[in-house]
Amino acid sequence: MRPAPFNYVAVHSIEEAVRYLSLYPGSKILAGGQSLIPLMKLRLVRPEYVIDVNGLITLSYIRASPTGLSIGALTRHAQVASYKTAERGLQCLIDSASVLADPQVRNRGTIGGSIAHADPAADYLPSLLVLNAEVDAVGPRGSRTIKIGELIKGPFETGLSGNEVITEVRCPKPPDGSSSAYLKLSKRLQDFAIVGVAALIVADKDKCLEARIGIGGAVTKPVRAYGAEALLADTRLGQSQIEKAAEKASEAISPVSNPHASAEYTTKMAKVMTKRVLMKAYEGLRKGSGAS
């Protein structure tokens, strides 16, 4: 289908984008367009203005600092996927960008666009949740910072008002001794996740100091599995402990049945994938200590 008629403007500053959003309510920001354009073609979205921010190249960057990682909202998934870091705690974010959709989508889609779209199956969200990421958004009254867990309200729903634009995502530096990973289960390799799980483990040798688990997919919204995290904190890491935590983690999600995955299957897979991603993060930890 073709989109409903719309106006197009390419803006030269974030302020200009915010001005258009304020003047024409219901208008949409065009970043990578990988979610917006299909939705427009299905006429689920009929923006009065499509506000193209692709000219704002200063919003495309990945910067590491002693306090963490800053990623410009217009950074493409492929750039995040190819980011090199010795920081194992950030690996989940790179994993997410690497398995997200297909190469064409990864070359166009942006991290800011993915977050703003708030698809519960988006691969970034579980990883951003375990990294305690924050998002900067600019609106008519200036900039504000929102924690990712507070930003994502529900399926395709964020705490942003209609005239706010995401400008930056920040992941605080993970604690020393961190290792993280993200794994997804999808129908085909390039499909949306039935279940996508991110895990971050902070450990001193085999003793787990802290664990964080984020689960997305065919669910109402991506969540942290705090109950499972508590089962791992201050324990000796190992297969049996990880299996217990995975069982608990699957209780944290609110699965949504879809034609390709029943709630029963999704819940079961949340357990399997949590176990696997914890094992992967745990193995990353052992590799990390072996190398240093």
Partner 1 sequence: MCPQGLGTWGSRAMVITGSAIAKASEILIDKMRKIAAKVLEVSEKDIVFEGGKFYPKGVPSSALTIADIATYAYVATGVIPGGDIEKGLQAIYTYEPPNTVRFDEDGKGNFAVNYSNATHAAVVKVDTETGRVEILKYVVVDDCGVAVNPLIVDGQINGGVCQGIGAALFEEVLYDENGQPLNPSFMDYIVPTIAEMPTDFVVEHIETPSPTTPLGVKGVGESGNVASLPAVANAVMNAIGKECRILPLTPKRVLWIIEGKEVV
Interface residue list for partner 1 (CB under 8 A): 38, 102, 185, 187-191, 259-262, 265, 268-269, 272-273
Q: Please, are residues 251 and 229 in contact by the beta-carbon 8 Å criterion?
A: no
Minimum CB distance to partner 1 smaller for 84 or for 188: 188
Closest CA to 232 of 217, 261, 212, 253: 212
Q: How far is the CB of 187 from partner 1 (least distance, A)?
A: 6
38 vs 175, which CB is nearer to partner 1? Answer: 38
Cα distance between residue 197 and residue 224, in whole Å: 10
Pairing of the two strands 7-10 and 49-52 = parallel
**Measured from the CB of residue 275, what is the shortest distance to partner 1 in angstroms?**
8
Sign of the four-CA dihedral 188, 189, 190, 195: positive
Q: State the minimum distance, in angstroms, from the CB of residue 44 to partner 1.
A: 12
Which residue number, 166 or 245, has a Cβ lying nearer to partner 1? Answer: 245
Identity of the residue, 145 or 190, whose beta carbon is nearer to partner 1 in the bound complex:
190
- Closest separation in Å from C-beta 194 to partner 1: 8
219 or 269: CB nearest partner 1: 269
Q: Are 211 and 198 in contact (CB under 8 A)?
A: no
CA 17, CA 9: separation in Å to the nearest integer?
A: 9
Give the nearest distance from C-beta 87 to partner 1 in angstroms: 30
Four-CA torsion 151, 156, 157, 159, nearest 10 degrees: 30
Beta carbon of residue 199, minimum distance to partner 1 (angstroms, whole number): 17
Please report, for residues 23, 60, 243, the alpha-carbon distance to residue 215 in angstroms, rounded to integers and kept in the order given: 37, 27, 16
Please say whether the beta carbons of 100 and 189 come within 8 A: no
Cβ-based nearer residue to partner 1, 18 or 195: 195
